[in-house]
Homo-oligomer: A and B are copies of this chain.
């Protein structure tokens, strides 16, 4: 690890540019590729990448092309490089199914910006953000490599099944986006009757429709690729709104109070980005010699609601058997330990200084 480590980033837009900057910050030499004319040169001049093109020997390649082309870019990256390949696409089922390979770890950082392209690229974009990995066929070494790298970006890794990821992001991202657009369209239609309508829109309405100001282009691909989960999510939302309508039109005050109170409590409890957290504890976990073990640890953490604040794989001197070093909150240690032991791990715990 003393020679310079090399990485590729394919697709130098908002997320790809941010990944490149984060990679450089943690010590990688970064090669970047983009099919848009002049983009590689711009990235070089802005110091986003160290070199244009792809390094076949890079230990890790991030694919950050538009969601509709991720599959082919991943396949090419697997063909022309010898290292690990991951991607940052918003839908994981189709690409995970199409590119089953031990060197490939599908991923999706839950982060973004209202800025576009390299203008919004930011090395700190992933600090405190959740970075979902959806291993399916990925080797433990590949998973550990990607999880370790993005953890060094400041992200928290959550491991999910690809289909599970797609279901969950439909609920917290895709359906809300389409709802914002629908609300905005409704207000726009009504504003034709009365121009004053949009002037009445105060902060709450602005907050709710802000995401509708984004470019439609990426959403066409996302909606196509995650059509089934989004359709199910919209059905659930329509059902929920129909219940809400019935409670309001029936003057069911207690029913309305219960719905609003449940939402209020859930919103108050929405996890915040990890800031300074006290009482962190380090757990050391020999990785057993069976496939999928490393990603299983993250999947278990997600199921138990345990945040992994830091993560690293170290190799002991006597062999190449890896040890996962996980940093979690002290109040989560016993539960996590129990879950890990139930699955055959032998976690050791050391209180952090």
Which residues of A line the B interface, CB within 8 A?
Answer: 110-112, 129-130, 132, 156, 158, 160, 164, 167-169, 171-173, 175-188, 190-191, 194-216, 219-220, 223-224, 227, 230-231, 233-238, 240-242, 244-245, 248-249, 251, 253, 256-257, 259-264, 266-271, 302-305, 307
Contacts and interface: CB of A to CB of B under 8 A. Distances in A.
B244 A205 contact: no
10 contacts: A167-B190, A180-B208, A182-B241, A196-B302, A213-B268, A216-B257, A219-B260, A220-B256, A237-B241, A241-B241
Contacts of A307: 199
Given A175-B186, A178-B248, 7 more contacts: A160-B196, A168-B196, A179-B183, A179-B208, A199-B302, A209-B270, A231-B249
A227 B209 contact: no
Q: Which of A205, A267, A268 has most chain B Cβ within 10 Å? A: A267
A245 B234 contact: yes
A233 B184 CA distance: 13
A259 B180 CA distance: 11
A27 to B, nearest CB: 27
Chain multiplicity (copies) = 2
Contact of A205 (B172, B263, B302): B172
10 tightest Cβ-Cβ pairs between the two chains A and B:
A216-B260, A181-B263, A188-B266, A196-B302, A195-B305, A184-B263, A213-B267, A234-B245, A182-B240, A204-B211
A267 B209 contact: yes
Given A172-B205, A230-B248, A244-B234, A215 B110 contact: no
Nearest to A215: B264
Contacts of A184: 263, 266-267
A347 B78 CA distance: 74
Contacts of A177: 204
A178 B208 CA distance: 11
A234 B188 CA distance: 15
Contacts of A235: 245
Contacts of A130: 199-200, 202
A307 to B, nearest CB: 8
A320 B303 CA distance: 75
Nearest to A272: B206
Contacts of A245: 231, 234-235, 238
A178 B259 CA distance: 9
Nearest to A299: B196
A204 B179 contact: no
A132 B200 contact: yes
A305 B196 CA distance: 6
Contacts of A201: 110, 172, 270-271
Nearest to A257: B216
A211 B208 contact: yes
A207 B171 CA distance: 14
Contacts of A211: 204, 207-208
Nearest to A243: B182
Nearest to A210: B207
Given A187-B266, A260-B216, A200 B179 contact: no
A190 B164 CA distance: 11
Given A168-B190, A256-B220, A263 B212 contact: yes
A227 B251 contact: yes
